[in-house]
């Protein structure tokens, strides 16, 4: 991506993010009833979007390759997930999973 394309990407993302944040105030500001599909998306979309992003992060894993091609990422993610279900401390979970991953890829 060239410098200008990078800048345009940031502008696009900033615009779309602003759109999500301002839309309720622009559309429903004057006491109009909020359409059901909007509330449905607000309720349901976050979980689908984060599941999508997780697959997206792991897209380059190759299970056909040797153990070292996929095991560090899966173990790192497992450590983060389990630690988070146990302690519910976001920083700790992220830090631990990342450290496990960084160690494993050096073995």
- 60 near other proteins, rule: CB under 8 A: yes
Count the site residues for other proteins by CB under 8 A.
72
Q: Please report how close the Cβ of residue 100 comes to other proteins at its closest, in angstroms.
A: 9
**Exposed / middle / buried, residue 74 (Cβ in 10 Å: 0-12, 13-18, 19+):** middle
Say how far apart CA 97 and CA 89 lie, in whole Å.
Answer: 12
Of the candidates 63, 66, 67, 105, which one interacts with other proteins according to CB under 8 A? 105
- 38 near other proteins, rule: CB under 8 A: yes
CB 29 within 8 A of CB 41: no
- 69 near other proteins, rule: CB under 8 A: no
């Amino acid at each position: 991506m060239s410098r200008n394309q990078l800048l345009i990407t940031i502008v696009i993302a900033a615009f779309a993010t602003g759109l999500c944040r301002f839309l309720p105030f622009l559309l429903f500001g004057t006491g109009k009833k909020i359409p059901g599909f909007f509330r449905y998306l607000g309720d349901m979309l976050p979980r689908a979007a984060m599941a999508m992003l997780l697959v997206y992060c792991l897209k380059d894993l190759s299970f056909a390759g040797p153990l070292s091609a996929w095991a560090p990422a899966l173990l790192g993610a497992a450590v983060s997930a389990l630690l988070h279900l146990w302690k519910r401390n976001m920083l700790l979970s992220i830090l631990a999973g990342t450290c496990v991953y960084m160690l494993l890829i050096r073995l």
